[in-house]
């Protein structure tokens, strides 16, 4: 199946393109390279032996985006990753986030209608749950007021998708609420490429271990958790990528129960920051220089997924464990 992947040279996008090829699909990439590099295409080629059609196009430009559909007739599904994703930056530059993320999804839906693509997979986030009252968190948990413009764009995009799909009976969507994606492809030919100082935990850990950063700061050790540090559900990026293939195939084979469905994509296991540090040291044999600092504003204390709906209904399950995943992140770091 011909599948358009926006943000296909990005972190999750590139891993998904690889999995699409391995599942026998024909991905086409649209990316404006605002947070990725064209050389990612070489990594995809190195793993799959396939040169994927690539369009350096910004999906907020409706005309340019539409021209990709003209050039690539027969696109059936879209996996939409292209979006700005830095929580802190979104607080400083809210308009950039609302413009990029909302115009992007509007144009994706507009082109799906115009050019007859029927299935959409949308990258949503567990951030929509805020600090859930019950753990593990299910898809039925209430959506909490967003803590950042970034989080708000995910909530608004979900609403835009729901309204558009209910107004048009040819459209279908699956929204995947990701927990914390980490790791890299086992080949170490693709992985995460954070620009500047990483904001996320694992790239900061690997860069500290590599001597690029002096010291990792653990943001708070006085949370109400067994060791005092925050707990997240860290999901291997290749496992996460595979969920997108399941989602597309579910829509195309008419197995959806509703025209819009939501799935939590996580492991179901919560891991603390201290546990990450310990496992990383253990797996790599590298001693991490770290210190405890104050809490980071806006951080959730603890969240992990109930992924049973994705397990049972989507036929998807996280397979890789934390040790293997941290080893892949380190292998990738050492190739950079």
The residues annotated as belonging to the active site are 150
- With respect to ligand UD1, which residue has the nearer C-beta, 154 or 250? 154
Which residues 289-318 are close enough to bind ligand UD1 by CB under 6 A? 296, 298-300
Read off the tokens for 204.
């900061």
Is 259 a binder of ligand UD1 (CB under 6 A)? no
Q: Binding marks (x or -) toward ligand UD1, 72..91, rule CB under 6 A? A: -------------x-x----
Read off the tokens for 127.
């951030």
Minimum CB distance to ligand UD1, residue 145 (Å): 12
Per DSSP bridges, beta strands 260-265 and 172-178 are parallel
Q: Give the Cβ contact number of residue 208 at 10 Å.
A: 22
Among the listed residues 127, 238, 264, 267, the single contact to ligand UD1 using CB under 6 A = 127
Q: Give 199's strand partners.
A: none
Is 201 a binder of ligand UD1 (CB under 6 A)? yes
- With respect to ligand UD1, which residue has the nearer C-beta, 25 or 149? 149
Number of residues that bind ligand UD1 (CB under 6 A): 22
Asked whether 294 and 214 are in contact (CB, 8 A), the reply is: no
Read off the tokens for 281.
């040291």
Cα separation, 322 vs 271, in Å, equals 9
Is 237 a binder of ligand UD1 (CB under 6 A)? no
Cα separation, 268 vs 270, in Å, equals 7
- With respect to ligand UD1, which residue has the nearer C-beta, 159 or 297? 297
Cα separation, 242 vs 237, in Å, equals 9
Asked whether 18 and 44 are in contact (CB, 8 A), the reply is: yes
Cα separation, 205 vs 74, in Å, equals 43
Among the listed residues 17, 47, 165, 230, the single contact to ligand UD1 using CB under 6 A = 230
Among the listed residues 6, 60, 125, 152, the single contact to ligand UD1 using CB under 6 A = 125
Is 168 a binder of ligand UD1 (CB under 6 A)? no
The residues that touch ligand UD1, with contacts defined as CB under 6 A, are 85, 87, 125, 127, 148, 151, 180, 199-201, 204, 216-219, 230, 232, 273, 296, 298-300
């Amino acid at each position: 199946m011909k599948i358009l992947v926006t943000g296909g040279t990005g972190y999750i996008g590139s891993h998904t393109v690889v999995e699409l090829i391995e599942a026998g699909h024909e991905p086409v990439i649209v990316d404006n390279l605002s947070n990725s590099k064209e050389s990612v295409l070489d990594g995809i080629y190195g793993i799959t032996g396939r040169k994927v059609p690539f369009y350096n196009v910004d999906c907020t430009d409706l005309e340019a985006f539409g021209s990709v559909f003209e050039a690539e007739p027969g696109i059936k599904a879209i996996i939409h990753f292209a979006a700005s994703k830095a929580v802190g930056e979104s607080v400083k530059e809210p308009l950039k986030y609302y413009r990029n993320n909302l115009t992007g999804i509007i144009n994706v839906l507009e082109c799906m209608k115009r050019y007859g693509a029927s299935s959409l997979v949308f990258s949503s986030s567990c951030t929509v749950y805020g600090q859930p009252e019950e753990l593990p968190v299910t898809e039925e948990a209430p959506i909490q007021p967003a803590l950042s413009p970034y989080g708000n764009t995910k909530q608004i995009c979900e609403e835009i998708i729901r309204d558009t799909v209910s107004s048009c009976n040819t459209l279908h969507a699956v929204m995947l609420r990701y927990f914390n994606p980490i790791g890299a492809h086992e080949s170490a030919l693709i992985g995460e490429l954070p620009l500047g100082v990483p904001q996320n935990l694992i790239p900061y850990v690997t860069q500290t271990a590599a001597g690029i950063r002096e010291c990792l700061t653990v943001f708070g050790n006085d949370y109400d958790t067994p060791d005092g540090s925050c707990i997240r559900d860290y999901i291997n990026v290749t496992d996460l990528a595979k969920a997108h293939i399941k989602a597309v195939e579910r829509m195309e084979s008419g197995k959806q129960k509703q025209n819009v469905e939501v799935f939590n994509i996580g492991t179901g296991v919560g891991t603390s920051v201290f546990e990450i540090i310990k496992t990383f040291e253990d797996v790599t044999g590298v001693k991490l220089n770290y210190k405890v600092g104050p809490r980071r504003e806006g951080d959730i204390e603890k969240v992990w997924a109930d992924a049973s709906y994705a397990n049972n209904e989507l036929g998807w399950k996280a397979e890789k464990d934390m040790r293997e995943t941290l080893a892949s992140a380190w292998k990738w770091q050492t190739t950079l």
